[in-house]
Structure formats: C-alpha cells, structure tokens
Amino acid sequence: MGNVNETLNKLLETDGALVAALVDYSTGMLLGSAGSGIDLEIAAAANTEVVRAKMKAIDMLGLDEQIDDILITLSSQYHLIRPMSTDRNLFIYYALDTDKANLALARRALRMAEEGLSV
C-alpha cells in the first residue's frame, strides 16, 4: 500500500479540501488522517455506520453491486466516502467546503488517491 499520510495530504491540495482519512470499515478505526476542523475519530466511526447501512441495503435489495462512492451534501460541506476496490475493509473519507470545491475534481482526486494507496 502506498504511503498513507502522503496520499491523504495530497488530497488536501484540492481546492476546498478540509480533511481526508483512511478508515478500517470492519472496526471503524482511523488508520491515517490529514487536515483539521472535523474530529476524524468520530467521523471514522460514524461513517463506518453509513457504509454498513448502505451495504445492508444493497444486500436486502438483492443487488449484485459494489459501492463506488457515497456522497453526502451538507449546507456547507461535501462528504465523500470511497471504499477501496482492492481492500473492501478500508474506505477513504474526504470532506470539502462546498463554496470552494469542485465536486467533479474532488471525486477524481479521490479515485487517484485510491490508486495511490492500492500500489
């Protein structure tokens, strides 16, 4: 796996980026983080529950699908959650300021970060 801190810090270079984190989905534990302004320990645990709920919904619907990413839009922030395709027990959490961020560029940066962590 690529350098976690380096990859997460690279995500913060995107306009509007606030925080980025790598989270273990099976435990809700924070494995790496960058940025400030959001308590990432709490965010890691809470977003683990978001992923679990969506996985359960997919299972209940009988869908043969994988989550590419989950987007949560707040009044002033975007929160993106991207499960790792190479290790479904991990996901990247990424929060951005809606006034400064370009969502398409943020999603692209997130995909590239995943590739960097998958090496």
pLDDT attached to residue 111: 92
Residue 88 confidence (pLDDT)? 79
| Average pLDDT of span 60-70 | 95
Give the pLDDT confidence of 7-54 residue by residue, as tens digits. Answer: 999 999 999 999 999 999 899 999 999 999 999 999 999 999 999 999
Q: Residue 92 pLDDT more than 90?
A: yes
Q: Supply the pTM of this predicted model.
A: 0.92
Residue 1 pLDDT class (50, 70, 90 cuts) = low
DSSP 47-111: HHHHHHHHHHHHHHTT-------EEEE-SSEEEEEEE-SS-TTEEEEEEEETTT--HHHHHHHHH
CATH number of the domain enclosing 10: 3.30.450.30
Residue 118 reports pLDDT greater than 80:
no
Report the distance separating Cα 39 and Cα 47, nearest Å. 12
Average of per-residue pLDDT values in the chain = 93
- pLDDT-derived band at 2, boundaries 50, 70, 90: low
Q: Are 5 and 34 in contact (CB under 8 A)?
A: yes
Q: What pLDDT is recorded for position 86?
A: 86
Number of domains into which the chain is organized: 1
Q: Which domain holds residue 54?
A: 4-118
